[in-house]
Structures are given as structure tokens and as C-alpha cells.
Amino acid sequence: MDDKTLILTEFIKQSPNRTKVLKSIGNDVLKPTDITNKTNIHINNVSRSLKQMKEKNIVYLLNPNSKKGRLYKLTEDGVNVLKNLK
């Protein structure tokens, strides 16, 4: 495992919400409301976690021009972090 994956994994582990959000996305493409329904985390906290993970290139937004129905998916780095968490 490379250093980048270790650093990103530690970043995810520092927040239970980020960990749950990452695991809930998995191999799917999800909207924040879908993540809220799967994890029971308040939508504001889901949005914050997604923003933080997007800044670290762990997730990416498929439709950045949409204000509603935003779709998130794990990047290659995100998939590596998810594998490392298991």
C-alpha cells in the first residue's frame, strides 16, 4: 500500500461520519439523500463529509452543474481507501 492511501485512510478514520459515508457509497453512485437514508447521518453532516472527501479526491461529483440530485462516486483513491478499511 502506498503512502497516499495510508494518509487518506487515516483522514477517513478520523471521522466516524466520513467512514460511514465512504462505506455507504461503496461501488454505487449515490445522492446525499440516499447516503442519509443508508447511514442515518443528518444531511448537513453528509454534505460536509462529501465536501471534505471531494477536496481530497476521494469522491467525485458526476454532475457538478446540478443543484439538486447531485451524484457522488468514489475515485480510484476512494476505492483504495475503502479496500484498506475492510
10-59 pLDDT, tens per residue?
Answer: 999 999 999 999 999 999 999 999 999 999 999 999 999 999 999 999 99
Q: Which residue has the higher pLDDT, 79 or 1?
A: 79
Check whether 1 has a pLDDT greater than 80.
no
CATH code for the structural domain at 3-85 = 1.10.10.10
Q: Cell 447511514, residue?
A: 39
- CA angle 42/52/60 to nearest 5° reads 100
Residues 54-80 have a mean pLDDT of 95
To which residue does cell 455507504 refer?
Answer: 24
Cell digits of residue 14: 478520523
CB 12 within 8 Å of CB 58: yes
86 pLDDT exceeds 90?
no
Q: Which residue in 57, 65, 83 sits closest to 73, CA to CA?
A: 57
